[in-house]
């Protein structure tokens, strides 16, 4: 299983990903691809993301049974704690 989430990226990138994956909701792609294709899609998303954010989650032989990576301006961030990858919602800076 493979999930790719795009935030604030050009529609052309979403169209390119739809060749490999299903888009059940806007910006969320799901499929089953090889590690090679997963890495190619990651590189293309970073190259064509134009300042947007990319999150990839895939099945892996880890304690959590999945692995993930993030790049760019996402609304979440990955935090690793004792070998586990967790998601944190960054606090918005307080404006005076």
9: number of Cβ within 10 Å: 20
**Residue 41 DSSP SS3:** helix
- Summarised one tens digit per residue, pLDDT across range 28-76 is 999 999 999 999 999 999 999 888 999 999 999 999 999 999 999 888 8
In a domain, 69, yes or no: yes
pTM of the model: 0.83
Is residue 40 assigned to a domain?
yes
Domain count along the chain: 1
**Which domain range does residue 62 map to?**
2-88
Q: Is residue 64 part of a domain?
A: yes
Which CATH number belongs to the domain containing residue 49 in this structure? 3.30.70.240
With respect to residue 93, please indicate whether it lies within any of the assigned structural domains: no
The C-alpha atoms of residue 84 and residue 49 are separated, in whole angstroms, by 27
Residue 95 located in a structural domain: no
């Amino acid at each position: 299983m493979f999930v790719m989430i795009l935030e604030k990226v050009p529609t052309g990138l979403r169209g390119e990903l739809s060749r490999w994956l299903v888009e059940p909701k806007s910006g969320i792609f799901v499929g089953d691809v090889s590690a090679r294709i997963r890495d190619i899609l990651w590189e293309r998303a970073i190259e064509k993301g134009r300042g947007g954010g990319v999150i990839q989650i895939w099945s892996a032989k880890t304690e959590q049974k999945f692995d993930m990576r993030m790049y760019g301006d996402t609304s979440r961030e990955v935090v690793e704690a004792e070998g586990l990858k967790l998601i944190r919602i960054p606090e918005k800076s307080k404006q005076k």
